[in-house]
Amino acid sequence: MATALAKAAEDISPATTHAARIEHVSKSFGGPAGSQLVLDDITLDVAPGEFVTLLGASGCGKSTLLNLVAGLDKPSAGAITTDGRPALMFQEHALFPWLTAGKNIELALKLRGVPKAERRPRAEELLELVRLHGAYRKRVHELSGGMRQRVALARALAQDSRLLLMDEPFAALDAITRDVLHDELTRVWSETNVSVLFVTHNVREACASPQRVVLLSSRPGPVAHEWRVGIPHPRRIEDSAVAELSVEITEQLRGEIRRHGQH
């Protein structure tokens, strides 16, 4: 499974140097009372296979940006290019309750044109990847919150996109499950070479980012700060390096919120 995807990654033509390229993107929502600027001149690249965590206070437009990258909405100015259609994971699991866990994944495969005979084994493989073997026949309501997000992750991976967009996917889970799932996500990411753009407002999640953390300004404006995280996995929150990073990110985030008075 991991090797199959790694092979697919090699097939990318050398011209493709990014999984997503966001260039000077602005977005405003117009209403009769005048338009409101939500994003202003954002520029951000996601390299193939890169894991980018997008951190920002609530209301800073990070979900809006993700919707633009997903193609669910159009930017007011600037350009967004992605390498193929990205997969998207929501804060709510968004699994279809009329299908079993396995059939949810198979629907994603079917819509992407995978032949019928290959769907079942592929779905089982993906469930195995998110450590849910045996959940194939389970209905959505029979799974716990964490398990549902695992299935949602498997379904997103079933789309075989080069880029996986995640909109605070673990925000509704309890803290321990969230930590476990973030570790799992990091493992899956390192096994599959998919690029990840992970949106969160949670500093703890940002500290768990395996590669790069980008802080969005609270007031519409360009990226406020960026960290390259070199701390090896698995990490423990007690590690001094993680604690240092956490303090630094928190400082910056608080600064952003103070400066612009939005929270």
Partner 1 sequence: MRQVLTQKVLPPLTAVLLVLVVWQALVSFDVVDDPSKLPSPSAVWDEVRDAWLAGTLLDYIWTSVSRGLLGFLLALVIGTPLGLIVARVRFIRAAIGPILSGLQSLPSVAWVPPAVLWLGLENKMMYAVILLGAVPSIANGLVSGVDQVPPLFLRAGRTLGASGLRHTWHIVLPAALPGYLAGLKQGWAFSWRSLMAAEIIASSPELGVGLGQLLENGRNASSMPMIFLAIFLILIVGIAVDLLIFSPLERRVLRGRGLLVKS
Tell which one of 42, 55, 87, 101 touches partner 1 (CB under 8 A): 87
Residue 185 has which token pair?
């996500």
| Residue 96 tokens, joined | 């279809």
In the window 42-81, what residues touch partner 1 (CB under 8 A)?
70, 72
Cα separation, 147 vs 95, whole angstroms: 11
For residue 67, the minimal CB distance to partner 1 (Å) is 9
Q: Is 163 in the site for partner 1 (CB under 8 A)?
A: no
First to last CA, the chain: 43
Stretch that binds partner 1, among 12-20, 75-83, 106-114, 198-206 (CB under 8 A): 106-114
Smallest distance from partner 1 to CB 90, Å: 7
Q: Looking up tokens 């995978």, which residue turns up? A: 114
User: Whole-number minimum distance, CB 260 to partner 1, in Å?
Assistant: 29
User: Which of positions 124-143 make contact with partner 1 (CB under 8 A)?
Assistant: 139-142
User: Residue 254 interacts with partner 1 (CB under 8 A)?
Assistant: no
Q: Which 3 state secondary structure label does DSSP give 223?
A: strand
β-strands 195-200, 163-167 pairing: parallel
Cβ-contact 19, 198 below 8 angstroms: no
C-alpha 191/C-alpha 185 separation (Å) is 10
User: Which listed residue (25, 42, 88, 166) binds partner 1 by CB under 8 A?
Assistant: 88
With a CB cutoff of 8 Å and minimum separation 6, the contacts of 93 are: 140, 145, 148, 149, 151, 152
Q: Does 119 interact with partner 1 (rule: CB under 8 A)?
A: no
User: Is residue 29 near partner 1 by the rule CB under 8 A?
Assistant: no
Binding site residues, partner 1, CB under 8 A: 70, 72, 85, 87-88, 90, 92, 94, 96-99, 107-108, 110-112, 139-142, 155, 159
